[in-house]
């Protein structure tokens, strides 16, 4: 069965300073439990803010390293999920349910891509 990576992209400016609400965390936990019991969720986690990140860039034979925050970033990868689904449509349906647990003020985009085997 194919595996899919869902990259969770967020607008870090729309995230409340205190972080996700307890209600959001409860809804998220319930959904993750359901996805896991369905045998779909293989791994998931949130990521620290971009201000704690580092970018390693390679271009023209040279490597550069830049500490966050990254001023040009309008959206950031805030988390990920690796799911094993029968097809892309199933992965998309689970991902749609994931974005809908967020409150209306959040801006969340998930990019769902099949993991290339081999």
Instruction: Convert the pLDDT of each residue in 70-96 to its tens digit.
Output: 766 677 899 999 999 999 999 999 999
CA distance 95 to 38: 14
With a cut of 50, which residues of the chain have pLDDT below it? Answer: none
CA distance 118 to 114: 13
Specify whether the CB–CB gap between 8 and 76 falls below 8 A: no
| pTM more than 0.75 | yes
- pLDDT of the residue at 13: 79
For the chain, how many residues are written? 118
Cα–Cα distances (Å) from 51 to 18, 32, 90, 108, in that order, read: 16, 27, 34, 19
In the chain, the percentage of residues whose pLDDT exceeds 90 is 69
Place of tokens 């409150």: 103
- pLDDT of the residue at 117: 84
- pLDDT of the residue at 72: 66
């Amino acid at each position: 069965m194919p595996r899919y990576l869902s990259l969770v992209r967020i607008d870090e400016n729309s995230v409340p300073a205190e972080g996700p609400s307890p209600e959001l965390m409860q809804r998220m936990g319930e959904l993750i439990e359901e996805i896991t019991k369905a045998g779909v969720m293989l791994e998931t986690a949130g990521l620290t803010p971009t201000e704690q990140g580092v970018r390693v860039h390679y271009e023209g034979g040279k490597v550069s390293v830049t500490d966050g925050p990254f001023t040009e970033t309008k959206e950031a990868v805030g988390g990920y999920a690796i799911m094993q689904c029968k097809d892309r449509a199933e992965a998309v349906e689970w991902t749609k349910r994931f974005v809908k647990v967020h409150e209306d003020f959040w801006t969340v985009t998930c990019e769902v891509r099949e993991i290339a085997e081999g």
